[in-house]
A and B are shown apart, each in its own frame.
Chain A
Amino acid sequence: MRGPTLQKATIISFTLHLTVFAIALIIMKQSGNVHLPSPYTVNLVSPGVLKDISRETGADTGKVSTQLAAAPDVSKKAAKETPKDKPKDTAKEKEMVAKRISAIEAKKKVERRVRLRSVIALKAGPGKQGSKQQQSASHGKGALQDDYYTAITKEIWQQWVYPDVGKKDIEAVIAIRILRDGTAIIQRIEKSSGNALFDKSAMRALAKASPLTPPPDEMEIGVRFFP
């Protein structure tokens, strides 16, 4: 009735844990399709890298153009009026504009460099990738996968051309298999948007984006497109 019970229980618990973990590991290694446990779906509506890119390319120009669009005459008018009404302010404004432009340029440069670096790191050979895997081992395997999904999301997005027409509340889901060398093969349309041109534009983006960054292992994923 003394000490041994507690000790025994601890040992039993420990061995039980060990065996369960061992079994789990064996099952995972043997199953072909599932390589790494990913207990979450990755939702990359506005991932960090993508944000940077879109700030640089799409969203920024989009924003500027819509601003210009919304008030193209405002800017013209402002330009016209300022020299007449407030000659003092123009110098200040010009200086401010120049400052802002240079700041934006500097920011872009930095962002471009960061992007280049990340692309180089991703595209580099298996040796480098190995080192990266080791590096991010502390982050866990999920983080590495996250990085990969972010990278390919960006690669597909950059190839996507679709004019701003028609309904906005549609969605197309396409299953693709990504081979070891990055080749993306369209498996099937899991969900059609109901708009043939939209589906086609999505398929095209995938075709043009292939080959993608080589994945850690062959995988099948679903790609959801929203206008």
Chain B
Amino acid sequence: MKKKCKVKNAELKITLKVTVFFLLLTVCSLLSAFAEAKVYIDITSPAFTRLPIAIQDFTGPSGDEISGIIRADLDFTGLFSSVDKAAHLERPGQPFKPGNWTPLGVETVVKGSTTEGKELVVTVSLYDVLDGKEILRKEYRAGKALVRPLSHTIANDIYHALTGEMGVFRSRIAFVADDKGEKAIYLMDWDGNRAANTGMKGNVVLSPHWSKDGTKLLYSSERNRQWGIYLLDFTSMTEKRVFSSRGTNMAGDFLGDGQEFLISSSKGGTPDLFIVNPSNNSTVKLTSSYGIDVSPSVSPDTQHIAFVSDRGGSPQVYTMRKDGTDVRRITFEGSYNTSPAWSPKGDRIVFSGRRVGNQIFVVNPDGSGLVQLTSQGNNEDPSFSPDGRYIVFSSDREGIKAVYIMRANGEAQRRITPKSMKASGPRWSPN
């Protein structure tokens, strides 16, 4: 009898337990239902990454030219899709009406007019189609000879208003080209226009390097059988020899915004890297390997140096601290990797590597994330634009070596120097 009673008790306990469990479960599920009442939905990566824009021909003298330059500038960025002129319902002279643009899917409209007096006056308006409002109106004045830089300034302003980033349409590219049997330093706009010879010549002139403020160029030149490092100051248009020694001396980047710069010099036998301080003519040796150490490139934070060394048997890209310690190899594919240059953010290094011909690659500073960007002809001397979105390089893909630009992902590659001009060693200005 006692035993039976115990069994019944146990049964009752189990039933009770089950009941309590179910009760708790119900309450819990109800509570959670109330607690998470608000639903969130996630929208990742926009469906369209190009802003639909219409740039109308500007009215007045040089109007077509100006609007054409702005259109070309914005097109190259790959961030805008400009709607064909033929589709515009509104004539350039007519006032802005949002209803004329919504059917075309246009979100931004640029209108402008010019008047010519002593100087050229350009009035530009930027309209937001969805809000039906003017978001930018600005007047520009410049001499008639400066239509191109003026147009690039307008393009910069439009670019900034629509993306929040600074445009690079006023930046310039320095390069080396032939000048009556010798080599000389040239300057041109980022789109290849207005190329001009600086008149700084030598039997051989190598890739120039910009100072951080964009007012000076540092380059190596062989004159009278001696390799010297020269500094060209644009503010005074003067050139000065800042270093010379026996052997081959090749200029590298400036170290920060001061006077110090890097060179590779073979004054002690094989080429090694040095920091040169021109104010007191002192040099600090950074490397001392048996092989060659060349092409020093300083990171944007000036803490690291990327360079080329054949200490491992073949020329490869290495990084080290600016005091010469912590040397790491970052390229492992291919038997010949040269001319490294940092991106402005310091997150990528672009270089030229030999595969089928010499090709442009980008890699992370730790050696990961290698991407090949070119595949035609020989491509050399790459460097980034000041915003890091584009790369300038030299290529012989069309026969004669010329200067090319592309987006930093390899898109939209195009030659910017004339086909007949033998050009090499391009460097994008820092501003």
Q: Which residues of A contact B (CB under 8 A)?
A: 1-2, 5-6, 9-10, 12-13, 16-17, 20-21, 24, 33-34, 37-45, 57-58, 65-66, 68-74, 76-77, 145, 149, 152-153, 156-166, 173, 195-197, 201-202, 204-205, 207-208, 219-227
Q: Provide the residues of chain A in CB contact with B397, threshold 8 Å.
A: 73
Q: Provide the residues of chain A in CB contact with B37, threshold 8 Å.
A: 33-34, 38
> Please, could you name 13 A-B residue pairs with CB atoms under 8 Å apart, sorted by A?
A13-B15, A13-B19, A16-B23, A20-B23, A20-B27, A41-B40, A43-B42, A58-B47, A70-B410, A163-B162, A165-B79, A197-B162, A223-B40
Q: Are B407 and A160 interface neighbours, CB within 8 A? A: no
Interface of B is mostly: mixed
Partner of A153, one of B8, B12, B30, B42: B42
Q: Provide the residues of chain A in CB contact with B162, threshold 8 Å.
A: 163, 197
**Separation of A227 and B36 alpha carbons in the complex (Å):** 26
Q: Are B8 and A2 interface neighbours, CB within 8 A? A: yes
Q: Are B43 and A224 interface neighbours, CB within 8 A? A: yes
Q: Are B11 and A221 interface neighbours, CB within 8 A? A: no
Q: Are A77 and B46 interface neighbours, CB within 8 A? A: no
B413 sits at the interface (CB 8 A): yes
Q: Provide the residues of chain B in CB contact with A222, threshold 8 Å.
A: 38-41
Q: Are B34 and A74 interface neighbours, CB within 8 A? A: no
Q: Are A13 and B375 interface neighbours, CB within 8 A? A: no
Partner of B375, one of A5, A42, A73, A204: A73
What residue in chain A is nearest B375 (Cβ atoms)? A73
Q: Are A41 and B8 interface neighbours, CB within 8 A? A: no
Q: Are A224 and B22 interface neighbours, CB within 8 A? A: no
Q: Are B12 and A5 interface neighbours, CB within 8 A? A: yes
A-B complex: 8 closest residue pairs judged by Cβ atoms: A37-B33, A73-B375, A163-B79, A69-B411, A13-B19, A73-B376, A9-B15, A160-B46
**Separation of A38 and B38 alpha carbons in the complex (Å):** 9
Q: A226 and B413 in contact (CB under 8 A), knowing A24-B26, A221-B39?
A: no
Within 8 A of A (CB), among B400-420: 407, 409-411, 413
Tally of A-B Cβ pairs under 8 angstroms: 172
Q: Are A201 and B46 interface neighbours, CB within 8 A? A: yes
Q: Which residues of B contact A (CB under 8 A)?
A: 5, 8, 11-12, 15-16, 18-19, 22-23, 26-27, 29-30, 32-34, 36-52, 78-80, 107, 130, 162-165, 371-376, 397, 407, 409-411, 413
Q: Are A152 and B26 interface neighbours, CB within 8 A? A: no
Q: Provide the residues of chain A in CB contact with B50, threshold 8 Å.
A: 161, 163
Q: Provide the residues of chain B in CB contact with A73, threshold 8 Å.
A: 374-376, 397, 413
Q: Provide the residues of chain B in CB contact with A6, threshold 8 Å.
A: 8, 11-12, 15
**Separation of A208 and B105 alpha carbons in the complex (Å):** 11
Partner of B52, one of A40, A161, A197: A161
Q: Provide the residues of chain B in CB contact with A208, threshold 8 Å.
A: 130
Q: Provide the residues of chain A in CB contact with B27, threshold 8 Å.
A: 20
Q: Provide the residues of chain A in CB contact with B18, threshold 8 Å.
A: 13
**Separation of A54 and B49 alpha carbons in the complex (Å):** 13
**Separation of A45 and B43 alpha carbons in the complex (Å):** 7
Q: Are A163 and B376 interface neighbours, CB within 8 A? A: no
Extra A-B contacts (12), CB below 8 Å, given A5-B11, A160-B46: A1-B5, A9-B16, A12-B19, A37-B33, A44-B42, A45-B42, A76-B376, A156-B41, A160-B48, A165-B163, A207-B130, A227-B45
Shortest distance from the beta carbon of B59 to any chain A beta carbon, whole Å: 28
Q: Provide the residues of chain B in CB contact with A164, threshold 8 Å.
A: 49, 78-79
Q: Are B41 and A42 interface neighbours, CB within 8 A? A: yes
**Separation of A204 and B47 alpha carbons in the complex (Å):** 13
Q: Are A221 and B163 interface neighbours, CB within 8 A? A: no
Interface centre among A5, A37, A163, A224, by most B CB within 10 Å?
A: A163
**Separation of A166 and B15 alpha carbons in the complex (Å):** 63
Partner of A166, one of B44, B51, B163: B163
Q: Provide the residues of chain B in CB contact with A145, threshold 8 Å.
A: 39
Q: Are B42 and A17 interface neighbours, CB within 8 A? A: no
**Separation of A27 and B162 alpha carbons in the complex (Å):** 50
Shortest distance from the beta carbon of A188 to any chain B beta carbon, whole Å: 13
**Separation of A43 and B42 alpha carbons in the complex (Å):** 6
**Separation of A13 and B397 alpha carbons in the complex (Å):** 85
**Separation of A5 and B5 alpha carbons in the complex (Å):** 11
Q: Are B19 and A16 interface neighbours, CB within 8 A? A: yes
What residue in chain B is nearest A59 (Cβ atoms)? B45
Shortest distance from the beta carbon of B101 to any chain A beta carbon, whole Å: 14
Q: Are A21 and B34 interface neighbours, CB within 8 A? A: no
**Separation of A163 and B34 alpha carbons in the complex (Å):** 39
**Separation of A77 and B26 alpha carbons in the complex (Å):** 67
Q: A58 and B45 in contact (CB under 8 A), knowing A42-B40, A161-B51?
A: yes
Q: Are B29 and A226 interface neighbours, CB within 8 A? A: no
Q: Are B41 and A153 interface neighbours, CB within 8 A? A: yes
Q: Provide the residues of chain B in CB contact with A57, threshold 8 Å.
A: 47
Q: A221 and B38 in contact (CB under 8 A), knowing A13-B18, A73-B413, A163-B49?
A: yes
Q: Provide the residues of chain A in CB contact with B165, threshold 8 Å.
A: 165-166
**Separation of A139 and B40 alpha carbons in the complex (Å):** 21
Q: Are B107 and A161 interface neighbours, CB within 8 A? A: yes
Q: Are A205 and B41 interface neighbours, CB within 8 A? A: no
Shortest distance from the beta carbon of B47 to any chain A beta carbon, whole Å: 5
Q: A34 and B34 in contact (CB under 8 A), knowing A197-B163, A197-B164?
A: yes
Q: Are A70 and B130 interface neighbours, CB within 8 A? A: no
Q: Provide the residues of chain A in CB contact with B130, threshold 8 Å.
A: 204, 207-208
**Separation of A118 and B36 alpha carbons in the complex (Å):** 28
Shortest distance from the beta carbon of A39 to any chain B beta carbon, whole Å: 5
**Separation of A57 and B373 alpha carbons in the complex (Å):** 25
Partner of B43, one of A16, A37, A69, A225: A225
Q: Provide the residues of chain B in CB contact with A39, threshold 8 Å.
A: 29, 32-33, 36
